[in-house]
Chain A
């Protein structure tokens, strides 16, 4: 409940200032600035190749922008390795599913709790003491998430053979296992039918409302975006073209031209 209160304070979790990212000649992002407030669902939309995924990659340190700064929790973030950023409790899912195919669902999710595992080598070697305790504690957390996502039945299945939709769900689970402060979702609902999308929306909303997790979401299904997002930022050709409440954005002529097309 404490976190919900914090959310009310409207403070800013992450501030992205003037970020520019280039790949050789390609400008993936140019001078993009926006912020993410605590406890909100922030959607990022834009046409294909606009630079949305690149934005997430910048946030979790996989790409280093040529220009611009990122402020996290009120502090300017120095240049960090992706795994160091994971320790700041920023977790994400990927556009092209990036699960560990050779591992079971359970192991995948336990990997998500990597940042909480600290037992030493010897303890692990003997499976005794801290290692065993830690394993059980973390397993409890993971089991809760498994229950929450209703994937109990596939706990021990290798993820490689799961259908696409379930894989997406497992990936969400893996991100949740990190108990993130900021959760980045890259097209979590691509390739799902309506019913599954509803389920997924439910999960996202629950995470957001009950755990108070801040979420940044990329999605192409406008229905989902309009229904879930608190605020939406629109990127086109690497530039921010709009930012605001869903309704504002939906009626923005620039956005309609660049992205939505006529029918929406």
Chain B
């Protein structure tokens, strides 16, 4: 038995509802944090930062956000790209209008602004459900992107409609702009990702989280029990958009540095995030991270193998990438519809019973 919970006794309720009720989990978790906060910043280089780790963290934040809305509250949304755009453009406007404002605040404020927009577009969810809602959220996707593209005020009347991030630093360390060190870029995303994941964990184990899940599982019963559906759904939209807004702000200011609404926040991004949470596991925080890692890393990996090692034609490799991502999605769903996180849980359950099969 490598993995066990026997022999561990909880003496209080707070302890029992703690994040990691099994000791082994806790140590594994500390170990990962150690790697993430100490080891990686020491070893990181430009390629790893901007091709792998930073996008991974940014997408993980976006997945956390969407997971709150879709995984916990059960409202499928395809407006993620649009909300990320709100985050990015708010961040840009804040950074350029208030050059002295610390960029951390800019990012958080962008999250709040996005939350507001999220509430606005969440209102229809009170009446519209399921796939109808999913398609309806596309309205926000298209409308928001159009808006940012249309009104030059949003991009400070720049000739091309692109926005690009000015250089800003936190505690004297540059975090945005082209001269930023990879570790700083990584660290700021990591801090946000960690803080937000922790907040997400807290929210979802508390009463708000239960409200969302109740709404997801059976909204009528939830209402009869005393859940105000209006409040539950709108709060899910708000908080989810807050996360996604922050992801958008980081995406723009830290990761890419220059974006254009139509290209960077198109509908593909909305789908990408949806993939992440479904592959990772709906309603699971771990799943958001696994899903993001998978969707970011897999194409890079495949490309490096096919083009880098086997020297295949780049175009063929990309086609194969599409094919294999498609196949993998299907295989995962067939094998475990509840995502990679559930697979992990089942594995733990097996280990718990090990060496007995049942």
Asked if A and B form a direct contact in the complex, defined as CB atoms under 8 angstroms apart, the reply is: yes
* B222 contacts partner chain A, Cβ-Cβ < 8 Å: yes
Cross-chain contact B202 with A114 (CB below 8 angstroms): no
**A131 in contact with B225 given A103-B213, A143-B13 (CB within 8 Å):** no
- Chain A residues whose C-beta falls within 8 Å of the C-beta of B203 in the assembled complex: 124-125
Cross-chain contact A127 with B13 (CB below 8 angstroms): no
* A117 contacts partner chain B, Cβ-Cβ < 8 Å: yes
> Which of B206, B224, B228, B283 interacts with A135 by CB under 8 Å?
B206
> Which of A85, A112, A124, A132 interacts with B208 by CB under 8 Å?
A124
* Shortest Cβ distance from residue A144 to the other chain B in the assembled complex, whole angstroms: 12
- Chain A residues whose C-beta falls within 8 Å of the C-beta of B227 in the assembled complex: 83, 111, 114
Question: When each residue 77-112 of chain A gets 1 if its CB lies under 8 Å from chain B and 0 otherwise, what string results?
Answer: 000011101110001101000111111000100111
For the complex, give the distance between the alpha carbons of A85 and B223 in Å: 10
**A126 in contact with B199 given A82-B223, A101-B217 (CB within 8 Å):** yes
For the complex, give the distance between the alpha carbons of A127 and B201 in Å: 9
> Which of A85, A98, A135 interacts with B17 by CB under 8 Å?
A135
Cross-chain contact B202 with A102 (CB below 8 angstroms): no
* A30 contacts partner chain B, Cβ-Cβ < 8 Å: no
Main secondary structure on chain A at its contact with chain B? helix
Cross-chain contact B224 with A126 (CB below 8 angstroms): no
* B28 contacts partner chain A, Cβ-Cβ < 8 Å: no
> Which of B218, B223, B225, B228 interacts with A112 by CB under 8 Å?
B225
* A20 contacts partner chain B, Cβ-Cβ < 8 Å: no
* B346 contacts partner chain A, Cβ-Cβ < 8 Å: no
Cross-chain contact A98 with B207 (CB below 8 angstroms): no
* B211 contacts partner chain A, Cβ-Cβ < 8 Å: yes
Kindly identify, within residues 116 to 143 of chain A, every residue whose CB is under 8 Å from any CB belonging to chain B: 117, 119, 121, 124-127, 131-132, 134-136, 139-140, 143
Question: When each residue 126-169 of chain A gets 1 if its CB lies under 8 Å from chain B and 0 otherwise, what string results?
Answer: 11000110111001100100000000000000000000000000
For the complex, give the distance between the alpha carbons of A102 and B203 in Å: 17
For the complex, give the distance between the alpha carbons of A153 and B340 in Å: 27
- Chain B residues whose C-beta falls within 8 Å of the C-beta of A178 in the assembled complex: 225-226
**Interface-central residue, B17, B202, B207, B227, by most chain A CB under 10 Å:** B207
For the complex, give the distance between the alpha carbons of A180 and B216 in Å: 24
* B86 contacts partner chain A, Cβ-Cβ < 8 Å: no
- Chain A residues whose C-beta falls within 8 Å of the C-beta of B13 in the assembled complex: 135-136, 139-140, 143
Cross-chain contact B221 with A100 (CB below 8 angstroms): yes
For the complex, give the distance between the alpha carbons of A114 and B222 in Å: 10
> Which of B205, B206, B211, B283 interacts with A102 by CB under 8 Å?
B283
* Shortest Cβ distance from residue B113 to the other chain A in the assembled complex, whole angstroms: 17
For the complex, give the distance between the alpha carbons of A24 and B222 in Å: 26
> Which of A81, A103, A136 interacts with B210 by CB under 8 Å?
A103
Cross-chain contact A86 with B206 (CB below 8 angstroms): no
* A231 contacts partner chain B, Cβ-Cβ < 8 Å: no
* A214 contacts partner chain B, Cβ-Cβ < 8 Å: no
For the complex, give the distance between the alpha carbons of A194 and B225 in Å: 29
For the complex, give the distance between the alpha carbons of A132 and B202 in Å: 10
- Chain B residues whose C-beta falls within 8 Å of the C-beta of A174 in the assembled complex: 225
Cross-chain contact B225 with A111 (CB below 8 angstroms): yes
- Chain B residues whose C-beta falls within 8 Å of the C-beta of A100 in the assembled complex: 213-214, 216-218, 221-222
> Which of A86, A102, A126, A134 interacts with B225 by CB under 8 Å?
A86
* A203 contacts partner chain B, Cβ-Cβ < 8 Å: no
**A111 in contact with B206 given A125-B199, A136-B13 (CB within 8 Å):** no
Considering the complex, give the chain B residue whose CB is closest to the CB of A122: B199
* Shortest Cβ distance from residue A200 to the other chain B in the assembled complex, whole angstroms: 20
* Shortest Cβ distance from residue A217 to the other chain B in the assembled complex, whole angstroms: 17
Cross-chain contact B220 with A111 (CB below 8 angstroms): no
> Which of B12, B216, B228 interacts with A83 by CB under 8 Å?
B228
**A127 in contact with B207 given A101-B217, A135-B17 (CB within 8 Å):** no
For the complex, give the distance between the alpha carbons of A62 and B222 in Å: 12
**A94 in contact with B210 given A125-B199, A139-B17 (CB within 8 Å):** no
Cross-chain contact A124 with B229 (CB below 8 angstroms): no
* A213 contacts partner chain B, Cβ-Cβ < 8 Å: no
- Chain A residues whose C-beta falls within 8 Å of the C-beta of B218 in the assembled complex: 98-101
> Which of B12, B199, B206, B217 interacts with A103 by CB under 8 Å?
B217
- Chain A residues whose C-beta falls within 8 Å of the C-beta of B221 in the assembled complex: 94, 98-100
* A115 contacts partner chain B, Cβ-Cβ < 8 Å: yes
* B172 contacts partner chain A, Cβ-Cβ < 8 Å: no
Cross-chain contact A114 with B225 (CB below 8 angstroms): yes
Question: When each residue 175-207 of chain B gets 1 if its CB lies under 8 Å from chain A and 0 otherwise, what string results?
Answer: 000000000000000000000000100110111
Considering the complex, give the chain A residue whose CB is closest to the CB of B224: A82
23 A-B contact pairs sorted by A residue (CB < 8 Å): A83-B224, A83-B226, A86-B226, A87-B226, A98-B221, A99-B217, A99-B221, A101-B218, A102-B216, A102-B217, A102-B283, A110-B210, A114-B207, A114-B225, A119-B207, A126-B199, A126-B202, A131-B202, A135-B13, A135-B14, A136-B12, A140-B13, A178-B225
Other A-B pairs beyond A86-B225, A136-B13, 5, CB < 8 Å = A103-B210, A111-B225, A114-B226, A132-B14, A134-B207
Which residues of A line the B interface, CB within 8 A?
60-62, 81-83, 85-87, 91-92, 94, 98-103, 107, 110-112, 114-115, 117, 119, 121, 124-127, 131-132, 134-136, 139-140, 143, 174, 178
Of all A-B residue pairs in the complex, the 8 with the closest CB atoms, nearest first, are: A86-B226, A98-B221, A100-B217, A117-B207, A127-B202, A115-B226, A114-B226, A139-B13
Which residues of B line the A interface, CB within 8 A?
12-14, 17, 199, 202-203, 205-208, 210-211, 213-214, 216-218, 220-229, 235, 283
